[in-house]
Amino acid sequence: MKKLFFVLLLLPSFFSIAQKKGNPATFAKTITAGDLRKHLYIVAGKEMEGRETATPGQKKAAAYIENQFRSLGLLPGNKEDYQLKFPVYQDSLTNTSLEINGKTFEPDKDFSVNVAQTNSSTYHFSEIVFAGYGVSDSTRDDYKGLDVRGKAVLLLPAQQQQNQGRGGFGNQFARIDAAQKNGAVAVLVIAGNFPHQIKTNPKGNMYLNAFQKIVRPNQFQVSENIAKEIMGDDYAKAKSGTIESKTYLANLTLSFNKSTTTLESSDVLGVLEGTDLKDEYVFVTAHYDHLGKRDTTIYYGADDDGSGTVSVLEIATAFSKAKAAGYGPRRTIVFMTVSGEEKGLWGSQYYTEHPVFPLEKTNVDLNIDMIGRIDATRKQGDSTNYVYVVGDDKVSTDLKTISEATNKKYTKLELDYKFNDPKDPNRIYFRSDHFNFARKGVPIIFYYDGMLGADYHRPTDTPDKIYYDLLSKRAQLVFYTAWEMANRNEMLKRDIPLEAARAF
């Protein structure tokens, strides 16, 4: 009697849990073409100015996403804050000069520098060593017999090497590294494209890490006039290959100064807390940054990745409605939009190196990057009813089976695995934010439309070109898959060696 009474006592609790699973189709239907369109015309609108990382436009987009998460009742994902902020650095040219024997040469007319790759310094040399092409490897050593320690070296242009059938000598970093290995502290590389029609950009590219593993010698691209000033009549012989390496006496002053500004960007995280498995996590991600502005031209980034960003918002809305109706997820769902993807997957890199939630307890990352357009090169199947599924075979053998069963039951899209091919020349698997999760051992799926055509990374990637009905269906597939991942009994197995996730 006691055992039977105990079983009967458990039945209401059991049925309560069973009932809370609910029917996901009810809530998937709330992900509509109209709502996606409404969000996208804001996220990819003029006010957001192309959402370039660490710019006012990106911050406006972050604020919009944060307000949406807050309005849904999602919890802030970074303690008390919805934004996980990270530093971004950018260099600005202060001044630069080049003098030979008291003669001053002009920037862009006679020499140029790469602001990001050059360090503030002033050098005075009395000797410049001509080192041919500056190659030093197992097959050739242009530094043999030369003393370049503490000196400036002068190198022939890499393009000239390639024209002479020496394409293997064209790696510029390898040439700079060879000069550094032999002790040179500055490198002058002769170029034939002076004067420059486009002036040196006084601002360098943004970068994520202020501390470099390798600090290379300063490199100046110099005109043939500078080469002649140093070498005299020997320069003509050097071009024709009839002169060996040689040291030239000349008073050379190289000066370069820059300032570094610390900027800020952020990932935006909204959290829907789970129930009995709330200490395990399902991530739904997309990047909300794009390329920003070039002068007055806005790169809107509607598909890339406005489509993913608004899909995350709509998926979050559907889950919030399910929870309000009493059908909350068992696992905690983290909706995260990241910035810096276009710069080199910065936002997801920062998160996975500074995780708010344990990566070992993160069941899956479902990443959405461009799902609003159609791949014009896709010749098989129905181009109005497909999505590329990438990376589901890299970490867990569970993933593909679950993904396909979910699609078969609900959305019936054509799942195309083209980009899982190790021979994919575009290396799509490595080019969005899921990769930073995968390399840490988290199972991932990347949803993608394959749009690398006329509007990719161009100002013409605008909201009017999105297929909103198809976008909603693809977003619903991600919702259904997240629902399954959040409510299944077991976490996904991690049974494929990580080498498969990190490189083909």
**Residue 312 exposure: Cα atoms within 13 Å on the Cβ side:** 36
User: Within this chain, do residues 289 and 156 fall inside the same structural domain, yes or no?
Assistant: no
Indicate the SS3 state at residue 313.
helix
Q: Could you tell me if 202 and 112 are in contact, meaning their C-beta atoms sit under 8 angstroms apart?
A: no
In a domain, residue 128? The reply is yes
pLDDT (mean) for 234-244? 91
User: Within this chain, do residues 359 and 390 fall inside the same structural domain, yes or no?
Assistant: yes
Assess whether pLDDT exceeds 80 at residue 251.
Answer: yes
Tell me the average pLDDT of the chain: 92
CATH code where residue 470 lies: 3.40.630.10
458: how many CB neighbours lie within 10 A of its CB? Answer: 15
Q: Could you tell me if 158 and 189 are in contact, meaning their C-beta atoms sit under 8 angstroms apart?
A: yes
Query: CA angle, 472 as apex, 466 and 476 as ends, to 5°?
Result: 150
CATH code where residue 196 lies: 3.50.30.30
Tens of pLDDT, residues 369-422: 999 999 999 999 999 999 999 999 999 999 999 999 999 999 999 999 999 998
Domain-terminating residue out of 261, 278, 300: 261
Tens of pLDDT, residues 67-107: 999 999 999 999 999 999 999 999 999 999 999 999 999 99
- Separation in Å, CA 150 to CA 125, 145, 181: 9, 15, 11
* 3-state class percentages of the chain: helix first, strand second, coil last, to nearest 5: 35, 25, 40
111 pLDDT band, cuts 50/70/90, is very high
Q: How far apart are CA 294 and CA 2, in angstroms?
A: 76
Please tell me the total count of domains within the chain.
2
> Is the bond preceding 279 in cis, omega lying within 30 degrees of 0?
no
168 pLDDT band, cuts 50/70/90, is very low
Here the tokens at position 425 are: 């020349």
Domain-terminating residue out of 261, 276, 308: 261
User: Within this chain, do residues 244 and 299 fall inside the same structural domain, yes or no?
Assistant: no
Q: Name the E strands within 102-245.
A: 103-105, 111-112, 121-130, 152-155, 186-190, 218-222
Assess whether pLDDT exceeds 70 at residue 201.
Answer: yes
User: Within this chain, do residues 204 and 136 fall inside the same structural domain, yes or no?
Assistant: yes
User: Within this chain, do residues 65 and 98 fall inside the same structural domain, yes or no?
Assistant: no
DSSP state of 306: I
Q: How far apart are CA 353 and CA 219, in angstroms?
A: 32
State the sign of the Cα–Cα–Cα–Cα dihedral 241, 243, 245, 248.
negative
Owning domain of residue 218 = 93-261
All residues at 6 or more sequence positions from 77 whose CB lies less than 8 Å from its CB, including other chains: 84, 268, 269, 270, 271, 334, 336, 356
Domain-terminating residue out of 204, 239, 261: 261
CA-wise closest residue to 133 among 77, 175, 98: 175
Torsion of CA 72, 77, 78, 81, to 10 degrees: 0
User: Within this chain, do residues 313 and 426 fall inside the same structural domain, yes or no?
Assistant: yes
User: Within this chain, do residues 53 and 158 fall inside the same structural domain, yes or no?
Assistant: no
All residues at 6 or more sequence positions from 8 whose CB lies less than 8 Å from its CB, including other chains: none
Q: Could you tell me if 125 and 186 are in contact, meaning their C-beta atoms sit under 8 angstroms apart?
A: yes
pLDDT computed for residue 319 by the predictor = 98
Here the tokens at position 152 are: 């400036």
21: how many CB neighbours lie within 10 A of its CB? Answer: 12
User: Within this chain, do residues 346 and 442 fall inside the same structural domain, yes or no?
Assistant: yes
Tell the burial category of 149 from Cβ atoms under 10 Å away from its Cβ (0-12, 13-18, 19+). exposed
Assess whether pLDDT exceeds 70 at residue 150.
Answer: yes
Q: How far apart are CA 220 and CA 106, in angstroms?
A: 12
Q: What is the CA radius of gyration of the chain?
A: 28
Q: Could you tell me if 340 and 350 are in contact, meaning their C-beta atoms sit under 8 angstroms apart?
A: yes
In a domain, residue 15? The reply is no
Here the tokens at position 403 are: 């993904």
Q: Could you tell me if 384 and 463 are in contact, meaning their C-beta atoms sit under 8 angstroms apart?
A: no
Q: Could you tell me if 442 and 355 are in contact, meaning their C-beta atoms sit under 8 angstroms apart?
A: no
User: Within this chain, do residues 192 and 241 fall inside the same structural domain, yes or no?
Assistant: yes
Query: CA angle, 257 as apex, 256 and 258 as ends, to 5°?
Result: 130
pLDDT (mean) for 187-202? 90
Q: How far apart are CA 351 and CA 269, in angstroms?
A: 10
Tens of pLDDT, residues 7-24: 444 444 443 443 356 899
In a domain, residue 68? The reply is yes
| pTM score above 0.85 | yes
Tens of pLDDT, residues 260-302: 999 999 999 999 999 999 999 999 999 999 999 999 999 999 9
Q: How far apart are CA 26 and CA 322, in angstroms?
A: 9
Indicate the SS3 state at residue 226.
helix
Here the tokens at position 226 are: 């500078």
Q: Which helix (H) or strand (E) holds 278?
A: strand 277-287
pLDDT computed for residue 20 by the predictor = 55
User: Within this chain, do residues 236 and 272 fall inside the same structural domain, yes or no?
Assistant: no
